[in-house]
Amino acid sequence: MPRERTDSRISLSRTEPAIRYFVVAIVAAMGSLLAQSSVADEYPVKAAFLFNFAKFVEWPPLAFKGPEDPIAICVLGQNPFGSALENVVHDKTVANRAFVVREISNAQQAAKCQIIFVTALEQKHYRVLLEGLKAQSVLTVGEADDFSANGGIINFKLKDARVRIEIDANAAQRAGLRISSKLLSLAERK
């Protein structure tokens, strides 16, 4: 898909009508999640976001060992999702890649992930993780207040009992990731 670059935002241009419709439908669904989510179902909503992030992020080819490699969504620390994350990605593909969910405990394991979710309970360890991933094309997603300020790319925030997202587009660019303007438009910018 051709892309035009403006600031640190990336926009889709001249896409085929079917693809454009698909993107609009996904963005609308994500917007609905933003508007309707409550604290009671916080982690199923976050699981849906993690899956949908894969649709709006472009990784460089070297982020995967080969064209058949799955998109690895990893959870650092105790998994707060239960089975929700596995259920969301089960039998799903993005760009002809299946998904795999892994629980990890360190930065070395995180380098083998495309998306990593850092739980708030890992607040003591995530700074080291983020420092270790600076040269890696890993989409880092957290839920601690200062996650983005410490180099994280996407941060979940609860505001008015709803899950919101904050995106640091510059951190994404440093990681070699391209985030669609459609996703950027849903987020608070850091």
For residue 29, what are the domain limits?
Answer: 3-189
CA distances from 39 to 123, 150, 153 (A): 20, 25, 22
pTM of structure? 0.78
- Residue 83 pLDDT grade (very low, low, confident, very high; cuts 50, 70, 90): very high
- Residue 190 pLDDT grade (very low, low, confident, very high; cuts 50, 70, 90): low
Which residues 6+ apart lie within 8 Å of 112 measured at CB?
Answer: 72, 74
- Residue 124 pLDDT grade (very low, low, confident, very high; cuts 50, 70, 90): confident
Q: What is the pLDDT of residues 50-80, one digit of tens each?
A: 999 999 999 999 999 998 899 999 999 889 9
State residue 23's pLDDT score.
43
Residue 180 phi/psi, 5° resolution? Answer: -60, 145
- Read off the amino acid at residue 130: L
- Residue 143 pLDDT grade (very low, low, confident, very high; cuts 50, 70, 90): very high
Token couple for 79 = 């998994």
- Residue 107 pLDDT grade (very low, low, confident, very high; cuts 50, 70, 90): confident
CATH code for the domain in which residue 177 is found: 3.40.50.2300
Would the pLDDT of 33 be above 60? no
Q: How many domains does the chain have?
A: 1
Query: What whole-number distance in Å separates Cα of residue 144 and Cα of residue 121?
Result: 9
CA distances from 2 to 16, 47, 92, 178 (A): 11, 29, 25, 12
Closest by Cα among 162, 164, 167 to 180: 167
